[in-house]
């Protein structure tokens, strides 16, 4: 068992490295965490990060079970996911653009404007799960590192690496951005943060719609 794990260690390290590069790259996931961190509570920000990690498991699961190949070979199925993802980005982006200034004190924001735990997780989950770029990334990544002879335990470890790495990275981002000092700096311009990130999400959604 130890010998098998040792043989796959270089692949695991490569997988972790490539996934981290993808995580650090700016995209819808980062935009949603940024938005929820600055205009909602730290709890909401961390739950959003958890939702993103759960969304990554969707991509990992269907890729490991061979459904990724089906999606890759059927353009219509890919288009459905593509348009669903773009529509969701446009929806949450539009809501951000409509954000209004509030006269409430900063400390009262979580009590008056915070979203529910389910909504926080759901926002992160849908942003990641409906992102076709994540789909293509994982299909491409796992098609390289997985073969018919890859042990089930190793495949499970691959999935765990993706999940844990995603959860830790976005939790770190959420924790840093939702700190008291950081939020204090942005308390007077929270509605502008929502508008800017909303505009960014709208642009990402439009770009997704017109990307082949």
Length of the chain: 212
Tell me the residue range of the domain where 119 lies.
29-209
Residue 192 domain-assigned? Answer: yes
Residue 10 domain-assigned? Answer: no
Answer whether residue 47 shows pLDDT above 90.
yes
What's the pLDDT score for residue 25? 72
What one-character DSSP code corresponds to residue 146? -
Q: Which residue has the tokens 């695991």?
A: 12
Residue 175 domain-assigned? Answer: yes
Please report the sign of the dihedral spanned by the C-alpha atoms of residue 203, residue 184, residue 190, residue 85.
Answer: positive
Residue 171 domain-assigned? Answer: yes
Answer whether residue 79 shows pLDDT above 90.
no
Residue 11 domain-assigned? Answer: no
Average pLDDT over residues 24-51: 87
Measured distance CA(65)–CA(71) in Å, rounded:
12
Residue 22 domain-assigned? Answer: no
Q: Which residue has the tokens 């920000």?
A: 45
Long-range contacts of 142-149 (CB under 8 A, 24+ apart): 142/60, 142/63, 142/64, 142/68, 143/68, 143/69, 145/11, 145/14, 145/15, 146/64
Residue 125 domain-assigned? Answer: yes
What's the pLDDT score for residue 161? 92
Answer whether residue 111 shows pLDDT above 60.
no
Residue 118 domain-assigned? Answer: yes
Q: How many domains does the chain have?
A: 1
């Amino acid at each position: 068992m130890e010998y098998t794990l040792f043989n796959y260690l270089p692949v695991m390290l490569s997988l972790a490295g490539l996934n981290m590069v993808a995580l650090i790259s700016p995209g819808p996931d980062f935009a949603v965490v940024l938005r929820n961190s600055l205009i909602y509570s730290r709890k909401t920000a961390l739950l959003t990060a958890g939702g993103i990690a759960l969304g990554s498991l969707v991509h990992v699961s269907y890729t490991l079970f061979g459904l990724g190949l089906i999606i890759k070979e059927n353009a219509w199925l890919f288009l459905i996911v593509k348009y669903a993802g773009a529509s969701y980005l446009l929806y949450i982006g539009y809501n951000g653009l409509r954000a209004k200034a509030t006269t409430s004190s900063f400390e009262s924001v979580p009590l008056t404007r915070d979203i529910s735990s389910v909504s926080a997780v759901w926002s992160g989950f849908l942003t990641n799960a409906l992102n076709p770029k994540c789909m293509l990334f994982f299909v491409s990544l796992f098609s390289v590192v997985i073969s018919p002879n890859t042990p089930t335990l190793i495949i499970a470890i691959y999935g765990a690496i993706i999940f844990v790495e995603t959860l830790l990275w976005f939790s770190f981002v959420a924790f840093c951005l939702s700190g008291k000092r950081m939020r204090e700096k942005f308390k007077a311009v929270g509605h502008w943060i929502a508008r800017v990130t909303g505009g960014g999400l709208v642009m990402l959604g439009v770009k997704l719609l017109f990307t082949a």
